[in-house]
Structure 1
Amino acid sequence: MDLIDHYLNAVAAQLPQGERDDIVAELRDLILSRFEAKEEELGRALTDAEREAILREIGHPLVVAGRYRKGAQSLIGPELFPWWLFAVKAGLMLMVAIQVIVAVIHIVTASSDVGQAISQAINGVIEGGLFIIGAATVAGALFEHYGYRPGFMTSWRVKDLPVYNLSDPDRWSETLQGRTGQATSGQAARSSSGVWRAQSLKGRWPGGEAVFSIIALLFFMSWWSGLWSVSGLDSIAITDGRAQVFASPIWQANFVPIMLLAIGQLWIETIRLFRPQWVRFRAGLEVIASGVALAIVWTIFQYGHWFTLTEKGASVRIAGDWALLDFDRLRAMSDSARDLIGAGSTLSLILTWVGVAVMISLVFSIGRHLWRVVRG
């Protein structure tokens, strides 16, 4: 078998079975004509090295076969590549945000030391990042191969574009640092009358807060439903060791309302991310959500008994009422004993003040969002 046969066999192996014979015959004629022309030029027969040089000029068998292959010629073409890049960048940034939150939870709850939490976060980013890149590549390759284009690629709207800030590292940095950022260059905004005017839209990216709220809500919902637990929350340290913490029946009674409230708040944050221009509608939903939250907190507060501490057969209730709203008791809180009774009294006082503060905050939240409903 000579060089031509080796070359043509390599090309044929990359072609569909039904088209091989015609393409190979065409290539054989092309190669032989090139050989004959070179032999006439040199006035002698070609050596194997010279024949191989001509074959290299024609092209590698994989490249030559690709010229005859129908359909997509690349895994992800230039039209889909920007979408692939956005999906990878946004996915990686979300993955980093999730791993950072998980690491902070582990560190704060002392379920992992700092080194272990950081190591787990890095491993999570690497594994999750590889999955995101692989999934985006597979989806892009399928879209490219079948010529499929989802509706969000062809029927997009300008008001949906803020979601693409998810792939901007500067916006994430501004959100984390609480800085205001430049939304536009400010010198190329044109009014409807055709007069050029300077426009500088400054403000913190609202999508960043929505993303973090969504992540936090998903973590809360998974914890509240029992999919995962945080070690250290079921006991507290006292003088004689650790006391076990048991929730009172009021929490089980409000399990469904709290879960539904979290789902509703997740929907609101999703609207804030994808439809930031729906200010009045979102504010109206916030009024409802804050009202429901206020009713739940009021019910739990009025029940009075929230938790029970037990240690060596003894138990004490963590409970509160309006009588504990005493500044003298609050100032004397640091003098409380560290035994079971002292821990119960201290936690009762703290949770009473926290409950009242939350209710006051929700009342102001209702007022603030009602104002947004009116003003937009």
Structure 2
Amino acid sequence: MTLLDQYLKAVAAQLPKDARDDIVAELRDMILTRFEAKEEELGRPLTDGEQEAILREVGHPLAVAGRYHTGANHLIGPELYPYFLFAVKIGLAALIVITLLASAIQVLVGELSLSEGIGHAFSNIVSGGITLIGFAAIAGFIIERQPEKPKFLREWRVKDLHLFEFAAFDTEALERSFKEGQKGKSMSVTMGFKSSSPAANALGAAMGLTVLLLWWTGVLPIADLRPGAGSWVMDGIDYGAILTSIVEVAFWPILAYLAARIGLELFRAWRPGARRVAALGQLTLALVRLGGLLWLWSYSPLSPVIHVDSMQALIDGARRMADGHFSLATLLTLIGLFMMIETVGNILGSAWRLATPARAETAKA
């Protein structure tokens, strides 16, 4: 077998069967023409080394076969890449917040020293980030090879183009604020993150919720704070045991809730104009979330720790924290109350959007 035959055989192995013979014949003619031209120039037959040099000029068999490939020749194409990058940014941001919070709790309860907490946080951010980017790349790979591109790529709208400005540092606004400060005017410094579109917000929420879902299922073991792990005692309260008890009861309901939230956010990104359908989904999930928070407040293993009988008791606890007497129980109580207030606000807002005629919403938008 000649060098040319070996080369063409390697190329043919990478080509689609229906076009293989025609492409190989075309390549053979082209390469033989090069061989003949070089032989005429030298006045003698080519050596194996000279033939191999010409074959290298033609290109590696994988690269040559790729030129004839009719499908996607890239992992994530230029159309999908901004969405991939956006999802990765949101996912990494959520990962960093959760990891730092988990490490801070472990340091507070004395499970880790400060230096160990920093080391664990850095290690988990790196390993978790690689995992997230891998998941995003797999999703992009699958989407890129669908026979029909997703609707958000085919039927994009001008008002959704803020997606490509997400996390772009607004230097003009910062410079303008600085000049106003020099002139003695009130200096309102915006840290420069431009607002994004409803579709972008929905994609970002879906990515952040995916990070929570992966953490909850243990795929992202963030600082050993995944459900059911460890024993964290503070002020005589074993929060690790409480978390384990909660997980035994609520693991699957929370998993289903997170999956439903992710599905709703993806629907919002896919159909940003379907406001009333999205509002119905948001209202339903907000009611479910409120029920879960009420269970956590009144009936869960955490209830004896966070439940307060009067507003005065809550105010007294907040004052002690303001005076420097940190209490994780009081902090969790405040967080639980704020989450309930925020959830009630979501319920009212979703109910209003659901009751508002679609025409009025469109006019507002």
Give the TM-score normalised by the residue count of structure 1. 0.57
Contact 1:159–1:275, Cα closer than 8 Å, also in 2: no
TM-aligned CA distance change 1:162 to 1:138, over 3 Å: same
Amino acid at match of 1:217: L
Identity %: 16
Q: Look up the match of 2:15.
A: none
1:59-98 to 2 correspondences below 5 Å: 60-61=54-55, 74=67, 84-87=77-80, 90-91=83-84, 94-95=87-88, 97-98=90-91
Residue number in structure 1 paired with 2:113: none
- Map of 1:206 onto structure 2: 198
Counterparts of 1:80 and 1:164, CA distance in 2: 26
**What one-letter code is carried by the residue in structure 1 that aligns with 2:95?**
V
Q: Deviations over 1:243-276 (max 9, x none)?
A: 5322285664444333322222111111222222
Normalised by the length of structure 2, the TM-score is: 0.59
Does the alignment pair 1:363 with 2:344? yes
- 1: CA distance between counterparts of 2:290 and 2:341? 9
Higher Cα radius of gyration = 1
1:14 deviates by 2.3
Q: How does 1:56-135 map to 2 (within 5 A)?
A: 60-61=54-55, 74=67, 84-87=77-80, 90-91=83-84, 94-95=87-88, 97-110=90-103, 113-114=117-118, 117-118=121-122, 121=125
Aligned to 1:10: 3
Aligned to 1:318: 305
Gaps of 5+ in 2: 13-20, 107-115, 171-189
Q: CA deviation at 1:277?
A: 1.8
Change (3 A) 1:76 1:133: farther
Confirm or deny that 1:244 pairs with 2:238.
Answer: yes
- Equivalent position amino acid for 1:295 in 2: G
- The gaps in structure 1 that reach 5 residues or longer are 1-7, 39-45, 144-148, 182-202, 308-316
Which residue does 2:253 correspond to in 1? 257
| SS at structure 1 position matched to 2:77 | helix
Change (3 A) 1:129 1:222: closer
1:372 aligns with 353
What is residue 42 of structure 1 aligned with on the other side? none
How far did residue 372 of structure 1 move? 1.9
Change (3 A) 1:155 1:14: farther
Superposed CA RMSD:
5.4
In structure 1, distance between residues paired with 2:212 and 2:273: 27
Residue 221 (1) aligns with residue 208 (2): no
- Whether the 8 Å CA contact 1:210–1:270 is kept in 2: the answer is yes
Paired with 2:335 and 2:135, the residues of 1 have a C-alpha distance of 42
- Give the structure 1 partner of residue 148 of structure 2: 151
The amino acid across from 1:15 in the alignment is L
Shift of 1:297: 1.6
| 1:291 Cα deviation after fit | 1.2
